[in-house]
Amino acid sequence: MSEAVENQETQKDPETHERASGKVATDDKAEASQPAPKKNGGAEARAERAPATAEGMAAVLERMRKKNVSAGAPDYDARMKNLDKLERSILKHKEGIVRAISTDFGNRSRHETLLAEVLTTLNGIKHTRAHLHEWMEPEPRETWWAALPARCEILKQPLGVVGVIAPWNYPVNLALAPLVYALAAGNRVMIKPSELTPKTAEIIDTIVRDAFAEDEVAVFNGGFEVGVAFSKLPFDHLLFTGSTSVGKIIMRAAAENLVPVTLELGGKSPAIVSENYSLKAAAEKIMRGKLFNAGQTCIAPDYVFLPKGRVEAFVEECKAAVAAMYPTLADNPDYTSIVNGRHYDRLAKYLADAEDKGAKIVELNPAKEELSAESRKMIPRIVLGATDAMTVMEDEIFGPILPVHGYGSMEEAIEYVNSHPRPLALYYFDNDDSRVQEVLTKTTSGGACVNDTLLHFAQEDMPFGGVGPSGMGQYHGREGFETFTKKKGVLYQSRFSGVKAIAAPYKGTIDMGLRLLVGK
């Protein structure tokens, strides 16, 4: 009996029934219903695990590989069980996630954490559970007539061991959403969270340990050197989420072992507003996308283009939109801090550089507050008159700063986007369908959202990924399953095969047949 099957039989688990009946235990209640942790249990458990060293991680990878061979690919039931276990563990630690991320950031809105880390990851699990059976099915493919009555189909196999490297900005979702799809595809997984969010990295480790054995899923935490060693491991696939510059380093490291990579990178995502679209609606939607997580979002609208004559009115609408969303900033628990001093200084430098070079900075500060640098909460700002010579238009902003440009014609805005690196997202605001289609076909971006921001990320049935400098490959939905799956083309020969007729020695009707098919 394979281990996967064995596992299913030994775990006639009541929790699966709980889920089916909608009675999933959550956080505090679940924590209370768990057996009391052993004193020092965390530390003991930690000691049993492999260290986050090059040797320790290589040893776990090797154990996972061996287990893949001895246990075979997990079947549908075993994969569903893995998804259930992950779901339960996330729910159990929901409050821990909220606390950890807020500690790491200084302040992270509880609502943003529940929406963007917990709910999105659980939605990925739900969507996967609903479709896994269909995704795993072999796909019949057309057979070349000359090979008939042979039959062709694609078999879906796990790749083996998948590595996941995650960034700090949505540290839970970007570590666990790839895990969902890698597990659904039947893989074992090693995860390297960001060292910039250490408390969250710990909770990710706890979530994983509560649900999985070390040879199923393992988390490796530590400093920069852990990431470097991790990226050099000979995985069967490596998914990296992070900056474009580090993406290049990761791809070089992976190339040494010919490890295929999915790179989920960043970039400058434009928002373009058309001539007739409501400025109030555009400002609300753009500021909502910009200020979620204080702009520290890979798909945050980075800068805006709108008709020249509408810039001033748009700035006023942005002020009103911010005042409605965040009447105050300093003590508002829903306004998130910048993750650390280095990033806070980086953003302050963009503003200083822009001002030095002649740009006008407009503060969106409804209660006219002073925000201490210590709190790392940053006043949202619009930059008018920004040029490509300013760092704010060179680098991905990743903070609450929004350059706003006026265009003379839509062509000008499209030309600007097309003459810059391909963005991860593009936002277009217009109610005219034909112009919408024109902008979508004339520009290339990882994804796009028409008349809103960010929401395309949360659609589990759509692939998510960049293009060119904003990334390669994709995950979420069926494409997520396929990213971590080997699609193996198999031909099943028939005992009535006539293929001998086209094999050596070439005599009889073959010459006539070839003349017919490819000419004299």
Residues tagged active-site: 264, 298
Query: Residue 391 interacts with ligand NAD (CB under 6 A)?
Result: no
Cβ 244 to ligand NAD shortest distance, Å: 6
What does 315-366 look like in DSSP terms, one character per residue? HHHHHHHHHHH-S-STT-TTSPPPSSHHHHHHHHHHHHHHHHTT-EEEE--T
Query: Residue 166 interacts with ligand NAD (CB under 6 A)?
Result: yes
Specify the stretch interacting with ligand NAD by CB under 6 A; choose among 65-73, 224-232, 307-315, 322-330. 224-232
- Nearer Cβ to ligand NAD, position 89 or 241? 241
Specify the stretch interacting with ligand NAD by CB under 6 A; choose among 165-173, 254-262, 407-415, 506-514. 165-173
Distances (CA, A) of 473 to 57, 262, 264, 464, 478: 25, 5, 8, 8, 13
Cβ 447 to ligand NAD shortest distance, Å: 10
Cβ 388 to ligand NAD shortest distance, Å: 19
Query: Residue 473 interacts with ligand NAD (CB under 6 A)?
Result: no
The DSSP element (H or E) to which 165 belongs, if any, is strand 161-165
What does 366-381 look like in DSSP terms, one character per residue? TT-----GGGT----E
Query: Residue 174 interacts with ligand NAD (CB under 6 A)?
Result: yes
Q: How far apart are CA 190 and CA 63, in angstroms?
A: 12
Query: Residue 395 interacts with ligand NAD (CB under 6 A)?
Result: no
Q: How far apart are CA 230 and CA 165, in angstroms?
A: 8
10 Å Cβ neighbour count for 438?
Answer: 15
Query: Residue 399 interacts with ligand NAD (CB under 6 A)?
Result: no
The letter for the amino acid at 196 is: L
- Nearer Cβ to ligand NAD, position 20 or 228? 228
Q: Which residue has the tokens 């696939």?
A: 237
Q: How far apart are CA 477 and CA 185, in angstroms?
A: 11
Check if the beta carbon of residue 450 is closer than 8 Å to that of residue 430.
Answer: yes
Q: How many residues does the chain have?
A: 520
Query: Residue 176 interacts with ligand NAD (CB under 6 A)?
Result: no
Of the candidate residues 53, 243, 340, 375, the single one contacting ligand NAD (CB under 6 A): 243
Residue 237, SS3 per DSSP: strand
Query: Residue 227 interacts with ligand NAD (CB under 6 A)?
Result: yes
Site string for ligand NAD, 19-58 (x = CB under 6 A): ----------------------------------------
- Nearer Cβ to ligand NAD, position 91 or 265? 265
Which residues within the stretch 98-157 sit at the binding site for ligand NAD (CB under 6 A)? none
Residue 298 is given by DSSP the state T
Which residues within the stretch 496-515 sit at the binding site for ligand NAD (CB under 6 A)? none
Binding interface with ligand NAD (CB under 6 A): 165-169, 174, 192, 194-195, 227-228, 231, 241-243, 246, 249-250, 264-266, 298, 396, 398, 424, 466, 471
